[in-house]
Amino acid sequence: MSSLVIDDLSIRFGGIKALDGLTLSVEPGQICGLIGPNGAGKTTLFNCVSRVYQPTSGTITWDGSDLLAVPAHGIARHGVSRTFQNLGLFPSMTFLENTMVGAHPYGRTGFVRSILSWGVRQEERRIRREAYELLEFLDLGHLAFEPAAGQPFGTLKRLELARALAARPRLLLLDEPAGGLTHAEVDELAETIRHVRDEKGLSVLLVEHHMGMVMGISDTVVAMNFGKKITEGTPAEVRRHPEVVSAYLGTRA
Ligand SMILES: Nc1ncnc2c1ncn2[C@@H]1O[C@H](COP(=O)(O)OP(=O)(O)OP(=O)(O)O)[C@@H](O)[C@H]1O
Ligand SMILES: [Mg+2]
């Protein structure tokens, strides 16, 4: 089992310090909730871990290796997978095809095997079978051959989760998975994320504004603002912290 260690991470965009010496870690198999107001730097952190952004300074270690030495296209091979704050699906593709897209980095078909089309077909069949199993695991099996376009938002959020899981990650980064969902859908998704973690033994970094969900499923919570950590601890500890109460929740606990 591996852990994610982020140490003294900073990144600047012009005059803005989007991350300012941020330090946090996610223990193996744990769900770490990341909360903070708009512009706190949560998505920027995800973009650094998934290698979309190059931090100005600091380190990111995953599974004992230096993640900053890994190019963005190599991140999935290191067992890291993410979802996006705004859906990143292909509307005209079916649920099965969208899920299979996520499996691509895991495909082992190399140059030599790709010449042998039998190898490709075998690989394709395996990816297709696993994608279908994932859709069933997430109660989306009945939609496998339907296009993503026109489906309810909550359903598409689950599809995005299926696609992230198709890469067989050991670290899952979820950026506001509950955004735009109804109360019932949020509860269902929370249950699903916990189930996924339990069944697949993943570590999860969960960015979410929905307090009930973060506090309900996280093992630890990190609160941040202005690119810095305000506090961390159990959900109960963090929700009591005075700076969290005033800076984020906006009400007295
Ligand atoms: N590519 C970029 N260029 C310039 N500024 C950026 C860029 N990406 C992020 N920022 C800035 O960095 C800060 C942190 O943004 P970020 O998107 O990480 O916030 P967030 O915590 O995810 O907020 P939200 O809850 O609204 O999603 C903001 O001030 C944002 O404008
Ligand atoms: Mg964000």
Domain coordinates of the chain in residue numbers?
Answer: 4-90+148-249
Hey, which of 10, 12, 16, 214 would you mutate to test ligand 1's pocket, going by the most ligand atoms within 8 Å of its Cβ? 16
Q: Distance from the CA of 146 to the center of ligand 2, in angstroms?
A: 30
Q: What is the pLDDT of residues 99-155, one digit of tens each?
A: 998 886 555 555 555 555 666 677 888 899 999 999 999 999 999 999 999 999 889
Please give the CATH superfamily to which domain 4-90+148-249 belongs.
P-loop containing nucleotide triphosphate hydrolases (3.40.50.300)
**Calpha distance 122→33 (Å, rounded):** 39
**Calpha distance 74→51 (Å, rounded):** 9
Which residue minimizes the CA distance to atom 27 of ligand 1?
A: 38
Task: For the chain, list residues with pLDDT below 50.
Answer: 252-253
Residue 218: CB within 6 Å of ligand 1?
no
Q: What is the pLDDT of residue 253?
A: 40
Task: Indicate the pairing of strand 228-233 with strand 80-82.
Answer: unpaired
* pTM of structure: 0.89
Q: What is the pLDDT of residue 72?
A: 85
